[in-house]
Structure 1
Amino acid sequence: MTRAGPPLGVPRYKDPPARADARAPRRPRRPGVTPPIVYHPAYQASLPEGHRFPMGKYGQLAARLTERGLVPAGFVTPEPASAALLGLVHDPAYVAAVLAAAVPRAIEREIGLPVDAGVARRARASAGGTLAAARLALAQGLAGSAAGGSHHARRAQGAGFCIFNDVAVAARALQREGAIGRALVVDCDVHQGDGTADCLVCAPDLFTLSIHAEKNYPVRKIAGDLDIGLADGLGDAAYLAVLAGRLPPLLDALAPDLVFYNAGVDPHRDDTLGRLALTDAGLAARDRFVIAAVRARGIPLVAVIGGGYGSDAAAIAARHALVFEAMAAEAGP
């Protein structure tokens, strides 16, 4: 399911639609408050031995966050998303098929995961976790979920290890209840956020920015609001220059009520499904920049972890922890 749109790097709109009520800052910083982190045991499901998706990273990430003192009050446990909540974004027939563990084999192959009861529970927990973290971010300025970022899940089906589009579900739910009017999705996963673009195509106040490797998956991209395709092998300095040139003016033009930050670590040079060449230091600098730019404008930010692939789950978990460390540093002592 592809939708005609502009080439990569060209926004869907000539200029981002500015808010008439734009103002900053709207929410003060809350120094000394450790940003809450949402986690559910169902985030880690069982997969067949040798499966290439690094499911073990979720438990290892939770352990690392605990060891580093980033959850002094413990994790926040979310309510799994209901079928009605998921239906705000996804075809109800697809939602029902997932919850019944009856996804057609052709779609299951596109997803790349066996959609059994455990994987379905994980998908519900992840969507509920992103919504819970978003609510916490609106209340406290910063929050994150130790999962989420399933940005290849489209309205009609999942794909690319993604079953339900948690960010799109959370954004639509918050908008529907009046908690937000406008949101910005900052997607720094190495793969273009085609599913999020598809899910939010009819929601002009839910704006998508995707910064990704141009030649990477998906081959057939669904145009988002602003897609920035990067050349293979791009390193830290060039990547950060692109981010610094595009994000601040977009924040100023949109003045969103909330930023969803997909802090995927697959732009790392050692990632098995990435094509960029960021280092650990580059990922950390990226996370610090995004968080600081958003919070300097008084805008709440919720982080999800996105992709990160390879055989060393501990190393991947350590990279995923960087965004939570950056949020804690931004909150300050």
Structure 2
Amino acid sequence: MAKYNLLPGYLLKEGICTQENFFEPEKIPAKIITQVHTRDYYNRLLDLKLDKKEIRKIGFPLRADLVDRGHYIIGGTIKGCHFAIENGVSLNIAGGTHHAYADRGEAFCLLNDQAVAAQYLLDTKKASKILIIDLDVHQGNGTAKIFEHNPYVFTFSMHGAKNYPFKKEKSDLDIGLDDGTGDEEYLEILKNTLPKLIEKVQPDFIFYLSGVDIIKGDKLGRLACTLKGCKHRDRFVFETAKNHDIPVQVSMGGGYAPAIDSIIEAHANTYKMAQEVYFSWQK
């Protein structure tokens, strides 16, 4: 949790963002969340009545403040969608809760922020075809399952093949990477895949999960990308989306390097690349 508190200060200190660039999320109402999550799961989550097995799968104690936090994370992602439509890009310092299924939480994810936001955009006619680009080191299993039969949302996950979750769901496109995959191979695969995918899917909105747990030495990752390679990845995603005039909402996802400074720098690089690609003309 420390990175979420430290990142805003780092962005301000390094001049990547100004105070005016930040916005406060609003707590999202139940009627939006239950367009994705089942009413039964959602009510039991609110009442703190999940069973012990369900809580073990989530991985942390079930507390009212964490459930409340999940609502604000979704609120930030949805509000970010509006900013992205206006400005091309927006970023949520939290989010990327892609292991949450419609009917259960998993792996530190209670509610699926980008899935709820994607359905919100479809329901409010703010988008008609959505591409979810999940580049966290772990497959976005909850997101894949939620949209398994939805023709308006295309899920793309590029992840460690032998990493969690050990039983993968079926995204519309899955690319499993071998342990130890580094910058050159990673970026080559991404650059050969994403432009063709955009041409095929023709999305009018993109959700990007920019997990930095692809970096070598990450405690929960098994790939071998560098900070520089991860930064290059983010720039490529942003440039590709901008060149196609497709708005992008970004959620941070994972990052578990042994040194907190490395995690903060890696996440900050995502903001830096967004700033350079979309707003360099303002400087």
- TM-score under structure 2 normalisation? 0.96
Report the Cα distance in structure 1 between the residues aligned to 2:83 and 2:94, rounded to whole angstroms: 15
Report the Cα distance in structure 1 between the residues aligned to 2:211 and 2:137, rounded to whole angstroms: 7
- The superposition leaves residues 104-140 of structure 1 with CA deviations (integer Å, 9 ceiling, x where unpaired) of 2211110111120111111111111111111110111
Partner of 2:45: 98
SS in 1 for 2:246: coil
Instruction: State whether structure 2 residue 273 is matched by structure 1 residue 322.
Output: no
1:71 is aligned, of 18, 26, 31, to: 18
Deviation at 1:319, TM superposition (A): 1.0
Report the Cα distance in structure 2 between the residues aligned to 1:329 and 1:98, rounded to whole angstroms: 40
Deviation at 1:328, TM superposition (A): 0.1
**Residues 262 and 303 of structure 1 are in contact (CA less than 8 Å); yes or no, is this contact kept in structure 2?**
yes
Report the Cα distance in structure 1 between the residues aligned to 2:262 and 2:68, rounded to whole angstroms: 26
Q: Which structure has more RCO (C-alpha within 8 Å, separation ≥ 6)?
A: 1
SS in 2 for 1:73: helix
**Residues 41 and 103 of structure 2 are in contact (CA less than 8 Å); yes or no, is this contact kept in structure 1?**
yes
Deviation at 1:83, TM superposition (A): 1.7
Partner of 1:109: 56
Alignment of 1:97-246 (within 5 A): 97-246=44-193
Partner amino acid, structure 2, of 1:257: D
Q: 1:98 to 1:317 in 2, by over 3 A?
A: farther
- The superposition leaves residues 1-58 of structure 1 with CA deviations (integer Å, 9 ceiling, x where unpaired) of xxxxxxxxxxxxxxxxxxxxxxxxxxxxxxxxxxxxxxxxxxxxxxxxxxxxxx1110
Report the Cα distance in structure 2 between the residues aligned to 1:99 and 1:156, rounded to whole angstroms: 13
Instruction: State whether structure 2 residue 24 is matched by structure 1 residue 57.
Output: no
**Residues 60 and 314 of structure 1 are in contact (CA less than 8 Å); yes or no, is this contact kept in structure 2?**
no
Which has the higher mean CA deviation after the structures are superposed, 60-69 or 137-146? 60-69
Unaligned runs of 5+ in 2: none
Alignment of 1:239-258 (within 5 A): 239-258=186-205
**Residues 32 and 116 of structure 2 are in contact (CA less than 8 Å); yes or no, is this contact kept in structure 1?**
yes
Partner of 1:267: 214
SS in 1 for 2:111: coil
Report the Cα distance in structure 2 between the residues aligned to 1:310 and 1:234, rounded to whole angstroms: 17
Report the Cα distance in structure 2 between the residues aligned to 1:190 and 1:180, rounded to whole angstroms: 27
Sequence identity (%): 38
Aligned pair count reads 279
Report the Cα distance in structure 2 between the residues aligned to 1:82 and 1:157, rounded to whole angstroms: 19
1:300 is aligned, of 247, 261, 270, to: 247
**Residues 154 and 199 of structure 1 are in contact (CA less than 8 Å); yes or no, is this contact kept in structure 2?**
yes
Moved over 3 A (4+): none
Report the Cα distance in structure 1 between the residues aligned to 2:4 and 2:261, rounded to whole angstroms: 10
- TM-score under structure 1 normalisation? 0.82
Deviation at 1:74, TM superposition (A): 4.4
Partner of 1:279: 226
- The superposition leaves residues 209-251 of structure 1 with CA deviations (integer Å, 9 ceiling, x where unpaired) of 1000000000111101000000000000100000001000111
Give the helix-richer structure, 1 or 2: 2
**Residues 217 and 258 of structure 2 are in contact (CA less than 8 Å); yes or no, is this contact kept in structure 1?**
no
Which has the higher mean CA deviation after the structures are superposed, 97-106 or 231-240? 97-106
